[in-house]
Amino acid sequence: MDTDEKKIKPPPSIFVRGLLDFAALRTILINSVGINNFFVKSTSKNLKIQSINSDTYRSIIKYLKESKAECHIFQVQEDKSFRIVVRNLHPSTPTVDIGIAIQEIGYTVRSVMNVLHKTTKSKLPIFFVDLEPAKINKDIFHLNSILNTKIQIEELYKRRDIIQCTNCQEYGHSKTYCAYPSRCVRCNFNHSTLACNKTNDQPPVCVICGGDHTANYRGCQVHKNLQKLQHDKSISNNKFNKKVTLIIVIL
Note the pLDDT tens digit of each residue in 122-141: 999 999 999 999 999 999 99
Please indicate whether residue 8 or residue 9 has the higher confidence score (pLDDT). 9
One domain, residues 87 and 140: yes
Among the listed residues 62, 60, 80, the one whose alpha carbon sits nearest the alpha carbon of residue 9: 80
Does 186 score more than 70 pLDDT? yes
Mean pLDDT of 196-216: 92
**Residue 191 sits in the same domain as residue 142:** no
**204 part of a folded domain:** yes
User: Left, alpha or beta for 147 (phi > 0: left; psi -120 to 50: alpha)?
Assistant: left
Which is higher by pLDDT, 246 or 177? 177
Tell me what the pLDDT averaged over the chain comes to.
89
CA distance 58 to 68: 15
- Which amino acid, 28? I
Same domain, yes or no: 148 and 197: no
Which residue among 113, 137, 155 closes a domain?
155
* Tens-digit pLDDT profile for residues 81-123: 999 999 999 999 999 999 999 999 999 999 999 999 988 989 9
Statement to judge: residues 144 and 174 lie in one domain: no
Task: Answer for the pair 91, 123: CB distance below 8 angstroms, yes or no.
Answer: yes
Identify whether 251 is part of a domain: no
Taking a C-beta distance cutoff of 8 angstroms, is the pair 131, 137 a contact?
Answer: yes
70 and 26 in a common domain: yes
Q: What per-residue confidence (pLDDT) applies to 241?
A: 53
- CATH number, position 111: 3.30.70.330
In this structure, the answer to whether residues 68 and 23 fall within a common structural domain is yes
Phi, psi of 27 (to 5 degrees): -65, -45
Residue 57 has pLDDT above 70, yes or no: yes
Rounded to whole angstroms, the Cα distance separating 139 from 214 reads 43
In angstroms, the CA 13 to CA 237 distance is 22
Between 251 and 121, name the one with better pLDDT.
121
Judge whether residue 2 has pLDDT over 60.
no
In a domain, 5, yes or no: no
Strands 109-116 and 82-87: unpaired
β pairing state of 123-131 and 82-87: antiparallel
Q: What is the per-residue pLDDT for 94?
A: 97
Q: 199 lies in a domain? A: yes
Over 60: is that where the pLDDT of 246 sits? no
- Same structural domain, 99 and 72: no
Residue 245 belongs to a domain? no
Is the domain of 142 the same as that of 203? no
Instruction: Give mean pLDDT, residues 50-78.
Output: 93
User: Is the same domain home to 212 and 170?
Assistant: yes
Per-residue pLDDT tens digits for 146-183: 999 999 999 987 767 789 999 999 999 999 999 999 99
The answer for residues whose C-beta is within 8 angstroms of residue 28's C-beta and 6 or more apart is 63
Domain closes at, from 138, 155, 172: 155
The verdict on residue 209 lying in a domain is yes
Q: What is the pLDDT of residue 242?
A: 52
Are 31 and 95 contained in the same domain? Answer: no
Question: Residue 5's pLDDT is what?
Answer: 47
- pLDDT, mean of residues 211-224: 94
Q: pLDDT value at position 4?
A: 45
Q: Which of 58, 77, 96 is the last residue of a domain?
A: 77
pTM: 0.71
CA torsion 86-92-96-100 (nearest 10°) is -50
Question: Would 194 be classed as within a structural domain?
Answer: yes
Domains: count for the chain: 3
How many residues does this entry show for the chain?
251
E strands present in 1-46: 14-17, 38-42
Work out the pLDDT band at 239, boundaries 50, 70, 90. low
Task: Tell me: do 231 and 195 sit in the same domain.
Answer: yes
Task: Assess whether 109 and 150 both reside in one domain.
Answer: yes
Asked if the structure places residue 242 within a domain, the reply is: no
Q: Is the pLDDT of residue 67 over 90?
A: yes
CB-CB contact of 190 with 80 (8 Å): no
In this prediction, residue 175 carries a pLDDT of 94
Q: Domain span at residue 146? A: 81-155
